[in-house]
Amino acid sequence: MLEYSDQIEELTKFMKVQIDDFLNYMEVEKGASPNTIVAYRNDLHQLMEFLSPKILPLNGNTNWLALDSTLLSQYVIFLEERAYSETTRARKIASVKSLLKYLIKEELIPGQSADNLASPKVGRGLPKSLSPDEMDRLLEETSKSNTPDALRDKAMIEILYASGMRVSEMVSLNIGDINLREGYLRCFGKGSRERILPIHDSAIKALSQYLKIARPNLDNNPLNKALFLNVRGDRLTRQGFWLILKLYATRTNIKSKITPHIIRHSFATHLLRGGAPLRHVQELLGHASITTTQVYTHLASEHMREEYNKAHPRAH
């Protein structure tokens, strides 16, 4: 008979294999993004560490059969006691549900599922955005220098605000994804879904200057296809861009919080307030479902009300 600690170790090894199989399924068959895979792995390893001491001894039958509704409820309480935010708890519970659905699909457990797991209700408030004036100030700050770094930074922020793309999509861009003559770029979003995004003249100009003047100074490898490079000539990372943006935010002394995601929300907000249809904004943002974009619905309604008040003879 194995010692208790050895049983825990054996069970943990088995559970890790099942988790890895599930994550491989999510990545290969479901097209989950690398960020989703990392989050799910962390969440499920936490679940495993919580469960493994509680489902022994199993008399050698080390599988997920012992995971019942009682243990799942205990896990929810465990998350609540650690004061995770509602958003984080909802994601962790979603990870568990996805794993159990996979285990049922693979017939590793019977038709039980975590459908009854209580997910916290996460409010879908309107994301905060910068005003057009604040965006102008941020972009003006990047125009105060013509160093290679500054030209690159201006091009990146212009591109984010012009296209609404995710920062992970932006840093993944290659030179071949840009068409300055036609004024568009190609990016690959969640699930490797490709979309073509128009970019306006200011962004085209900033990109053109970066490509002609700045990038050759940063590039030390003629075979490097990455569009945006760091000072070492490597592809710039999300973390690298976040630090750059934080620096400009500090310089502009803008009171509002500035993150790459907030620039994306500002893009969507300003388009809708300018009269763009919600469906078009959905396509530009790369949302698979219109329900994800509907957090902005009241902005579209506000614009409709303003136009109605302008146009209707009895509204004055």
- Residue 213 DSSP class: I
Encoding tokens for residue 51?
């469960």
- Going by pLDDT thresholds of 50, 70 and 90, the confidence category of residue 59 is very low
- 190 labelled catalytic: yes
- pLDDT at position 123 over 60: no
238-242 contact pairs (CB < 8 A, 24+): 238/167, 238/168, 238/171, 240/171, 241/156, 241/167, 241/170, 241/171, 242/167
Higher pLDDT, 207 or 13: 207
- 264 labelled catalytic: yes
- Residue 192 DSSP class: G
Is 130 in contact with 262 (CB distance < 8 Å)?
yes
- Going by pLDDT thresholds of 50, 70 and 90, the confidence category of residue 236 is very high
Which position among 166, 215, 265, 270 bears the catalytic label?
166
Hey, what CATH topology would domain 132-309 get?
hpI Integrase; Chain A (1.10.443)
Cα(97)–Cα(117) distance, integer angstroms: 8
- 261 labelled catalytic: yes
Q: What is the pLDDT of residue 1?
A: 44
Burial 31-49 (b: 16+ CB within 10 A, else e): ebbeebeebbbebbebbbe
Encoding tokens for residue 112?
């039980």
Which position among 101, 273, 287, 303 bears the catalytic label?
287
- The β-bridge relationship of strands 178-179 and 184-188 is antiparallel
Which position among 137, 186, 205, 261 bears the catalytic label?
261
Residues of the chain with CATH 1.10.443.10: 132-309
Range 51-77 average pLDDT: 64
Which position among 89, 92, 215, 264 bears the catalytic label?
264
- Residue 313 DSSP class: T
Which position among 190, 195, 235, 273 bears the catalytic label?
190
- 296 labelled catalytic: yes
Q: Which CATH class is domain 4-105?
A: mainly alpha
Is 35 in contact with 91 (CB distance < 8 Å)?
no
Residues of the chain with CATH 1.10.150: 4-105
